[in-house]
Amino acid sequence: MNSDSIKSEKVGFVGVGLMGHGMAKNIVEMGYKLTTIAHRNRTPVDDLVSRGASEAGTLAELAATSTMIFICLTDSDAIESVVTEMKPALTAGTIIVDCSTANPSSTERIAAELAPLGVGYADAPLGGTPKEAEAGALHAMIGCSEDVFARVEPVLSACTAKIVHLGKLGDGHRMKLLNNFLSLGYGALYAEALALSRKVGISVETFDSVVRGSRMDCGFYQTFMGYALEGNRAAHKFTLSNAYKDMKYVESMANDVQFVTAMSSAVKNSYAFGITNGGSGDDDYVPHLTDFIARANGL
């Protein structure tokens, strides 16, 4: 496939929030015709339009003018709602690329409903933060057929540094949930360990002086500690609400295969604790869980 045929894809993008804006920006700057749509925040849409993107007035309009549609939304309910609204305007040959973190069972159900229309589907969730999204340095894990992957890969390469084709539809979302189980498990451990450290009289600074640079150090730890050490509330921008949602999906995935969830349910409940104690806002992020655990322990 030559570059001209690749660039002939007309890309729609639904969900230009913290992650989606960076992805869409890199796609349009790579020379693709891109159409997006506003939701609550016009700022990212206005920025993309200034870079050459078009704005659709409705999801049906976006669907009708696109050959490949990227979706980057909060949860499976939102994805199902958007696809339902686009469905009457979708044409055979269109491919939907779902970059959200979603429930695999929902992903498979949507794809099955679209297949009779000749509409392809790929689940391509992302590894990284909004910083990597803006830099085009995300990692994508994708589940889809070989023919769908052949079309999606060149476009997805515009906003990622690494793409792994895992296999069948749904495997991207399954692997993303496993990945988030690990990362959010780190977050729950760090939050509790830091609160306990303070309770027994070891300062955050002393705690960090031991862990940083050791085998327990990692990139996730360093962004997490940007809040604990420096008070930077935006050091690790992943909300407690999204963490709880993702862990519910992990639990649901495990339930579907009758798997015992001793650790993942404990992690889920850590984030549930933060949310039920007030951490449900758009700027309540994973590192802030430490505060909720600390307060519950008299700190």
Please give the angle made by the CA atoms of 259, 262 and 263, to the nearest 5 degrees.
Answer: 110
Q: Provide the mean pLDDT of the chain.
A: 95
Angstrom distance (rounded) from CA 250 to CA 257: 11
Amino acid code (one letter) for 70: F
**Cα 6 to Cα 131, 150, 248, distances in angstroms:** 26, 10, 38
Q: Is the pLDDT of residue 231 over 80?
A: yes
Q: Is the pLDDT of residue 5 over 50?
A: no
What number of other Cβ atoms are within 10 A of residue 185's Cβ?
17
**Residue 260 CA to chain centroid, in angstroms?**
25
State the average pLDDT over residues 111-138: 95
pLDDT value at residue 150: 97
**Cα 260 to Cα 2, 175, 187, distances in angstroms:** 49, 18, 21
Q: Looking at 3-7, 127-131, 278-282, which range is the least confident one? A: 3-7
Tokens of 24: 């869409």
Q: Is the pLDDT of residue 136 over 80?
A: yes
pLDDT value at residue 2: 42
State the average pLDDT over residues 165-169: 96
State the average pLDDT over residues 184-205: 98
Tokens of 281: 């806002």
Contact yes or no for 123/173 (Cβ under 8 A): yes
Q: Is the pLDDT of residue 4 over 70?
A: no
Task: Give first-to-last CA distance, the chain, whole Å.
Answer: 61
126-127 and 138-143 beta bridge pairing: antiparallel
Q: pTM value?
A: 0.92
| pLDDT more than 90, % of the chain | 94
Domains of the chain: 3-168 (3.40.50.720), 174-296 (1.10.1040.10)
Residues 174, 180, 185, 188, CA torsion sign: negative
pLDDT value at residue 10: 98
Identify which of 248, 242, 249, 231 has the alpha carbon closest to the alpha carbon of residue 279: 242
Q: Is the pLDDT of residue 225 over 60?
A: yes
For the annotated catalytic residues, the residue numbers are 176
Long-range contacts formed by 225-233: CB under 8 A, 24+ apart: 225/190, 225/287, 226/287, 227/285, 227/287, 227/288, 227/290, 228/190, 228/194, 228/204, 228/287, 228/290, 229/204, 229/205, 233/283, 233/285, 233/288
| Per-residue pLDDT reduced to its tens digit, 52-91 | 999 999 999 999 999 999 999 999 999 999 999 999 999 9
Strands in the chain per DSSP E: 10-14, 33-36, 54-55, 68-71, 95-98, 120-123, 126-127, 138-143, 160-167
Q: Is the pLDDT of residue 244 over 80?
A: yes
Identify the band that residue 130 occupies on the pLDDT scale cut at 50, 70 and 90. Answer: confident
pLDDT value at residue 129: 86
State the average pLDDT over residues 108-114: 98
